[in-house]
Amino acid sequence: MNDERFLVSGWEDDINDIDETRNPTDTLEKKILDACENGTLEEVKKILEEHPDLVGVRDKDGYTPLHR
């Protein structure tokens, strides 16, 4: 069906943002990014108290925990 009213989303073809790891919290870096993304403030505080340097960690897209 070729109808101009239907648009194709560019997001459907974006396979680059699929995480390859099965456990998104297997490292401290991934754990803080996951905690920030999910809004678990107490977990973020706990991680940063023990490892304040993780505030500047970046994910594969270059985002820090503060971006999430």
Show me where the domains of the chain are located.
24-67
Cα–Cα dist 13/42, whole Å: 35
Half-sphere exposure of 4 (CA within 13 A, CB side): 0
pLDDT tens column, 21-59:
667 678 999 999 999 999 999 999 999 999 999 999 999
Residue 25: the pLDDT is 72
pLDDT digit string (tens) for 3-17? 666 655 555 555 555
Q: What is the pLDDT of residue 63?
A: 92
pLDDT, position 56:
94
Looking at residue 26, its pLDDT comes to: 85
For the CA atoms of 39, 26, 16, 63, what is the dihedral angle to 10 degrees?
A: 50
